[in-house]
Structure 1
Amino acid sequence: MRLRKKWWARPEMEASHLTITKPQEYKGKWSEEFKNNNDIYLELGCGRGRFISNHAQQNPNINYIGVDLKDEVIIYALKKLVEAELENGRIIPMNIAGIAEIFDKDEVSRIYINFCNPWPKERHNKRRLTHPKFLTEYKKFLKPGSEIWFKTDDTELFEDSQVYFRESGFSIEYLTYDLHKSDFQGNIVTEYEEKFTSLGMKTMFLLAKLL
């Protein structure tokens, strides 16, 4: 579904110190931006921000950064951070393809990827956020032993991703084809997840660790 343009979104985002519009300038300096040396957790495709804002509220000693391309969506992630008065969260409106340009070596401790586009056509597979092409980029700034938490409702993407992670130097520490009926603790339900769970769809989840 095509998003209606929200002309007010960009000015509102730029007016907030929680929005980083020139993230390349912060490479290697994120601890200065957050004014601490706490771990940084990154959500790729943060959408409307329920996931990242809830995590930031529950974990004040961790810094969170949400990335999404569309102003019309990520503006709501900003609103949630502002309304909750969260200083340990930032948003970045940008294309995820350039993610390795904004973080330095060992600067990020965890990545969340929630319900990304499955790009089912084989010629488009390299656009998947779990594809080795992207995993290679993430490894440029992830600390050794860092984790990637991945959720999807697409079985083909989920099974292909298991191969991607193993071939890219990650071990799969936890895996389930039905997260909501599993024993996994710590899941925060996204807006998308809530909607499609109510329609009977299952959420698949894996936790991959960088070796």
Structure 2
Amino acid sequence: MRLRNKPWAKDKLLEYPQFVILEPEQHRGHWDKVFAVAQPIHIEIGTGKGRFITEMAKANPHINYIGIELQVSVIVSALDRLIEADLPNCKLMNVNAEELENYFSASDVERVYLNFSDPWPKTRHEKRRLTFKSFLSVYEKILVKNGEVHFKTDNQGLFEYSLMSFSQYGMLLKYVSLDLHNSEFEGNVMTEYEQKFSSRGNRIYRCEVQFQSK
């Protein structure tokens, strides 16, 4: 589905610096000063319309959350949700995930969430997948020691590929579900895509993996 352009979106982001981190490179290594309370930071890459990140922030006030989204016409919807919720422990960044090292230094982040990422099914696009080894290397560099990646998708092919990618990188598989909504997992927060796909009867896959100290 073609994304509807919102020419006013960038201006709206500028109007809410309390929720949108406008110059994240200035905070590299000093994220404890960005939030009202210095707490562990979890980031979601590809936050979409913001349902997951805002609900997680509501449920876990002891954690600071950052939703990262490249598409400006999408992240404004997450901004609307965040404005309504008015959460002090949740902020947004309109940046490219490939450039995370420009914004976070070693140990700035405790956990990375990847929810319903673009599967990029063609082999020639493998390097664009957010679970490709080059992205895993970036996550490892910004995460704390033994930091984790939590991954959800409805795409079986991407899930299988990702498990292989995690294993080849030497990561520890801590949890895996081949049918999340029919499992005993507690505390699941659904994304917009997750609600849409599960309502169609699609199986949801989920895993938690951890980088191992070298």
Q: Where on the TM-score scale, by shorter chain, does this alignment land: which range? A: over 0.9
Distance 2:38 2:210 in 1: 22
Unpaired runs of 5+ residues, structure 2, are none
Q: Which residue matches 1:10?
A: 10
Q: Which secondary structure state, in structure 2, belongs to the residue aligned with residue 90 of structure 1?
A: strand
Identity %: 42
Q: Which secondary structure state, in structure 2, belongs to the residue aligned with residue 140 of structure 1?
A: helix
| CA apart distance, 1:134 | 0.3
Amino acid at match of 1:8: W
Distance 1:156 1:191 in 2: 21
Amino acid at match of 2:49: R
Q: Which residue matches 1:179?
A: 180
Would you say the 8 A contact 2:36–2:89 is kept in 1? no
1:171-207 deviations in Å (ceiling 9; x for gaps): 0111111100111122101111111111111110001
| CA apart distance, 1:39 | 0.3
The question of 1:151 aligning with 2:152 is answered yes
Q: Which residue matches 2:42?
A: 41
RMSD over aligned CA atoms reads: 1.0
The question of 1:71 aligning with 2:99 is answered no
Count residues with an aligned counterpart.
Answer: 211
Q: Which residue matches 2:169?
A: 168
Q: Which residue matches 1:200?
A: 201
Amino acid at match of 2:67: G
Distance 1:146 1:36 in 2: 21
Distance 2:209 2:101 in 1: 19
Would you say the 8 A contact 2:140–2:147 is kept in 1? no
Amino acid at match of 2:121: P
1:2-50 deviations in Å (ceiling 9; x for gaps): 2121122211111112111221111111111114320000000000000
The question of 1:93 aligning with 2:100 is answered no
| CA apart distance, 1:169 | 2.9
Q: Which residue matches 1:59?
A: 60
Would you say the 8 A contact 2:48–2:75 is kept in 1? yes
| CA apart distance, 1:145 | 2.0
Distance 1:64 1:42 in 2: 6
The question of 1:20 aligning with 2:25 is answered no
Distance 1:88 1:14 in 2: 19
Unpaired runs of 5+ residues, structure 1, are none
| CA apart distance, 1:161 | 0.7
Amino acid at match of 2:144: K
Q: Which secondary structure state, in structure 2, belongs to the residue aligned with residue 75 of structure 1?
A: helix
Q: Using structure 1 for the length normalisation, give the TM-score.
A: 0.97
Q: Using structure 2 for the length normalisation, give the TM-score.
A: 0.95
Distance 1:97 1:28 in 2: 18
